[in-house]
Amino acid sequence: MSKIDVEIVEVGPRDGLQNLDVVMPTADKCRWIAAEHAAGVREIEVGSFVPPKLLPQMADTGEVVAFARTLPNLRIATLAPNLRGALDAIKGGTHKIGVPISVSPEHSLSNVRKTPMQMVEELAKICKARDESGAAVEIEGALSTAFGCTMAGAVPEDDVLRIAEACLRAGIDSLALADTVGYANPAQVRSLFERVRGIAGDKLTSGHFHDTRGLGLANVMAALETGIRSFDATLGGLGGCPFAPGATGNVSTEDLVFMLESMGLRTGIDLAKLIETRKILEQALPGRPLYGSIARAGLPKGFRQAA
């Protein structure tokens, strides 16, 4: 496989499904993950370790992780909002655990019933438990609502930097900035990534953008300009946060791959195979809207992926 310029992390099986009022069968989740792996996706967030009563859509995450481990060269990511979930993730064989830290106190209390700093304390416990286990598991601090919150409105950049510094002290391996509710604009993205880079350096690795207001790809471009080379996306633009009113629609994986490949940036993902994978979602989620422009319009005549 040729060298990758930009990594695309498929987060649909977690972020794409958690907000739906239906539960996708485990077999269909596994078909989806296998198809994206066959298309060249090499990191997939397959679920979250949370109480089933809170998110029944994620009740089978352990089973899905076990299946994903049978796929060669696939990096398996999961989300865990607390120590118990992280221990389950480590035991199950997850390669990367994302721990959500909402910068907005209102969102944090709604999402995990803890303040941001209480979540940082939980994050420190998770890092310590990982170290004591000897497991080679990456711990990522995912700063949610970093660009705004539907409950609180504007989120000051200084608050993001304060939480980022606390996460670094807690022992994380990497840091991601997330536009959880689709409030960000490109100028804001550029400013915040540059400021956080100043304190986190190379540990600031990833961007997570929602297309709620149509600026998802523009915000990816702004983050690219600051040196970010890893981005989350969901097939069909599914997703959103169930605890944040109005937060729907992640950046479409297909549209993101198309944009990057059109620019000559290699993703290692076969776009035609990726678009074909949408059929699995159409069958497994009948009547549910799928988003994204390239699947509707088709590839331009003469389009060639980056060599």
- The pLDDT, as a whole number, for residue 248 is 59
Residue 250 structural domain:
7-297
Quick one: pLDDT band at residue 1, thresholds 50, 70, 90?
A: very low
Q: What percent of the chain has pLDDT over 90?
A: 89
Mind listing the pLDDT tens digit for each residue in 70-86?
999 999 999 999 999 99
Q: What is the pLDDT of residue 10?
A: 98
167 is catalytic: no
Residue 1 located in a structural domain? no
What confidence score (pLDDT) does residue 246 get? Answer: 54
Neighbours of 232 (CB within 10 A): 30
Q: Are 100 and 144 in contact (CB under 8 A)?
A: yes
* Residue 40, in any domain of the structure: yes
What's the pLDDT score for residue 19?
85
- For residues 265-288, average pLDDT: 96
The mean per-residue pLDDT over the stretch 277-288 comes to 95
Residue 130, domain member (yes or no): yes
Q: Residue 2's pLDDT is what?
A: 63
Q: Is residue 115 part of a domain?
A: yes
What mean pLDDT comes out for the span 2-7? 90
Region 40-59: mean pLDDT is 96
- 303 lies in some domain: no
The Cα 193–Cα 207 span in angstroms is 9
CATH number of domain containing 257: 3.20.20.70
Look at residue 111 in the predicted model and tell me its pLDDT. Answer: 84
pLDDT at 306 (0 to 100): 83
DSSP-assigned states of every residue in the chain:
-PPPSSEEEE-IIIIITTT-SS---HHHHHHHHHHHHHHT--EEEEEE---TTT-GGGTTHHHHHHHHTTSTTPEEEEE-SSHHHHHHHHHHT-SEEEEEEESSHHHHHHHHSS-HHHHHHHHHHHHHHHHHHT---EEEEEEETSS-BTTTB---HHHHHHHHHHHHHHT-SEEEEEETTS---HHHHHHHHHHHHHHHGGGEEEEEEB-TTS-HHHHHHHHHHTT--EEEEBGGG----TTSTT---BPBHHHHHHHHHHTT------HHHHHHHHHHHHHHSTT-----SHHHH-PPTT-----
pLDDT for the residue numbered 307: 77
Task: Tell whether 302 is covered by a domain.
Answer: no
Whether 2 maps to a domain, the answer reads no
In a domain, 81, yes or no: yes
* Per-residue model confidence (pLDDT) at position 231: 98
**Is the pLDDT confidence value at 146 over 50?**
yes
pLDDT in tens, 219-249: 999 999 999 999 999 999 998 655 555 555 8
Query: Is residue 303 predicted with pLDDT exceeding 50?
Result: yes
pLDDT tens readout for residues 257-267? 999 999 999 99
Average pLDDT, the chain: 95
Query: Could you tell me the two tokens for 44?
Result: 């997939």
The single residue of 30, 127, 167, 241 carrying the catalytic annotation is: 241
> pTM value?
0.96
What integer is the mean pLDDT of 205-224?
96
Domain count, the chain: 1
